[in-house]
A and B are shown apart, each in its own frame.
Chain A
Amino acid sequence: MESLIELQSVTVHSQEHISLDEVSVAFPPNRSTVIMGPSGSGKSLLLKVAAAIIPPDSGRVLMYGKNLQRLGQKELLGFRRSSGFMFQDAALWENKTIFENLALPIQFHSPRRSSEEIENRIRKLLNTMNLLDSLTLRPAALSEGERKIVSFLRAIVLDPQILFLDEPTPSIDHQLLEKMLGMIKTLNEKGCTIIAVTHDAHLTSMIANHLVVLKDGRVLEAAGIAEVRRSANREVIEILTQVLSEAATYDTDILDLLEE
């Protein structure tokens, strides 16, 4: 199967140390890939490089074989139009209202869309997540979880074909989290390629067909989930056990606290 996005020998330096070291990995189309690894292993950076937000210092990022760094203006806009990115820290535009945060990508890519159409789309999305009351608020007035949801909605507002998710689940309450996971799953079933960085075992079990395991800026394993589970690489097993058990322990602790 031809890869949708492929990184070839990508190296990125940040502040004079190597954050991604000769990373080569491919993301298949219409599948869900989960990137895992210990904190500081370069997962978020890998996601941003794959989304062509941060250019690599060396190596290439290809989309269907075309170098993303060398795409023409039109092709690059097409890629942006068809992809959405949810940031770990939400990265909402603080000087804009929630409505403006969600409307700007539509106004930019579809300038002929009527304001009524845009408003309906945004109201519908916010209503799904019980955030309709926040329409005119600034991001600073929202909780961390709500900010993450708005960041998620901004990423899907243009019905993307590729969805990049950077730690989408922390800080979001259970009810909204279930809704969000449902939307991610629906998008994936409709053919949207999902590339997610997460420590969330629940999300991973729900959507992942493909796993990439990262450590110290290097890819240890990148394969179908069944193959990774059967991996004989001790480092991979250790990381998966550690990352997933941390999440599981954390969840259990919360449940224990609630039961008390």
Chain B
Amino acid sequence: MIARLGKNVSDAFGNFLYATGFLFNLVKESALFLRRRQVGFRVLVMQLLFTAVEAMGIIALISLGLGAVIVVQGISILPKFGQGKLIYTILLIVITRELGPLLTAFVIIARSGTAIATELGNMVISHEIEAYVSVGINPISYLAVPRFLGVTLSMVLLTIYFNLFGLFGSYVVTQFITPIQLQDYFHNLLGVMSVADIASSLIKALVFGVLISFTAIYQGFKVRVSTTEIPQVAIKAVGQGFVLCILADAVITLIYYV
């Protein structure tokens, strides 16, 4: 039993070292992406289309819904305590600092994380990765880097988009409950908004993007010989993506307040 425990610890440490090396390689190749003659630029554009553009509908729906719910709840409860103005602070905290980046991350994990892990896993099984190596194309720079950059950039852009829709959606809902001038609404909102709020949101988006894309790519490349490994790595990409994003969210929020 002790031997098995020792082996598990040793394997876990080995995997951690391998994953760290893989991330370092990915970041290094990403830094060189724009400098090199790249046939992978088209892959980056396709990734942006899939991850960012195609997800705009669902992100808009979620953020509008969330903004509406916060306003309805806030306007119903807060005035009873004489804290009606707090609605703007709550909107900012919930949408911009917390749920905006996190819900966007969940959508990207569900759509792109699974897609990337599955696609790369299939490519390993069908020897497409070996085919890239055989013609001299580095699979990290051609397949992984555009996905890494595409997902990370999409995560940042979609978070901004989520925030705008969430805050605008809450204004639309406000009109049905207690009509207010657009100018007044945004004046109140901007009055409680700080640079730190925006920075926190963008930093979270960036970190989540790196974590989601790295996890999905790493899991995809971990497939070895069998198609039965593909659903397993897709599930791991989702599970690990969620866990890492929530942990990172907690850490960044702690740093913000401490």
Using a CB–CB cutoff of 8 Å, the interface residues on chain A facing chain B are 15, 48, 51, 53-54, 76-77, 80-81, 83-85, 87, 89, 91-95, 104-105, 107-109, 111, 154-155, 158, 164
Contact = CB atoms under 8 A, between A and B. Distances in A.
Chain B contact-residue range equals 10 to 19
Given A91-B131, A94-B128, A108-B39, 4 more contacts: A84-B134, A92-B131, A93-B128, A105-B137
Contacts of B37: 111
A91 B136 contact: no
B127 interface: yes
9 contacts: A15-B225, A48-B130, A77-B136, A85-B131, A94-B122, A105-B136, A108-B137, A109-B135, A154-B131
Interface in B116-150: 119, 122, 126-128, 130-137
Nearest to B130: A53
B130 A87 contact: yes
Given A15-B225, A89-B127, A91-B128, A53 B134 contact: yes
Contact of A53 (B126, B128, B133): B133
A104 B135 CA distance: 9
B40 to A, nearest CB: 9
Given A89-B126, A91-B127, A94-B128, A104 B137 contact: yes
Top 3 closest pairs, chain A to chain B, by CB: A80-B136, A91-B127, A85-B134
Contacts of B133: 53
Nearest to B40: A108
A144 B136 CA distance: 25
Contacts of A89: 126-127
Given A15-B225, A111-B37, A80 B134 contact: yes
Contacts, number: 59
Interface string B12-56: 000000000000000000000000010100000000000000000
Contacts of B132: 93
Contacts of B224: 15
A24 B136 CA distance: 25
Contact of A108 (B128, B130, B136, B225): B136
A88 to B, nearest CB: 8
A15 B225 CA distance: 9
B164 to A, nearest CB: 33
Contact of A76 (B122, B126, B130, B136): B136
Contacts of A76: 136
B204 to A, nearest CB: 32
A54 B130 CA distance: 8
Contact of B134 (A51, A77, A92): A51
A155 B37 CA distance: 22
Contact of B127 (A15, A77, A87): A87
Q: Count chain A CB atoms within 10 A of each CB in B133, B136, B137, B224 and give the residue with the most.
A: B136
Contacts of B136: 76-77, 80-81, 105, 108-109
A108 B135 contact: yes
